[in-house]
């Protein structure tokens, strides 16, 4: 059985609802720059950067792609359009 070095067991995938198309380089809090891949409906990022959602990381994405309709990860965390966290995140686009 082969294991891909790109999808390790400790990796988490984040997704954000966005109409942006293309790749977006975004700094993450206390970490490196990361690259989101956006297809016009969803922006996606996978990596070993923890299991939580971060206002800072969310806002860094929103600054580049505009307001998002959700923010979630494969660890089961989610901010929906009605959540206070997503509203705070999207404030940087105003």
Distance, CA of 68 to CA of 87 (rounded, Å): 9
Name residues whose C-beta falls within 8 Å of residue 90's C-beta, 6 or more positions apart in sequence: 62, 67, 68
1-46 pLDDT tens trace: 343 444 456 899 999 999 999 999 998 877 789 999 999 999 999 9
pLDDT value at position 8?
Answer: 52
Domain definitions of the chain by residue range: 12-93
C-alpha dihedral (68, 16, 38, 62), degrees to nearest 10: 40
Q: What is the pTM of this model?
A: 0.87
CA-based angle 82:83:89, to the nearest 5?
110
Residues 62/53, Cβ–Cβ less than 8 Å: no
């Amino acid at each position: 059985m082969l294991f891909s070095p790109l999808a390790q067991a400790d990796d988490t995938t984040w997704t954000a609802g966005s109409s942006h198309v293309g790749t977006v380089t975004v700094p993450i809090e206390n970490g490196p720059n990361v690259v989101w891949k956006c297809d016009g409906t969803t922006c996606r990022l996978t990596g070993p950067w923890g299991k939580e959602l971060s206002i800072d990381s969310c806002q860094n994405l929103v600054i580049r792609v505009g307001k998002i309709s959700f923010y979630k990860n494969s660890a089961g965390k989610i901010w929906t359009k009605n959540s206070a966290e997503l509203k705070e995140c999207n404030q940087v686009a105003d």
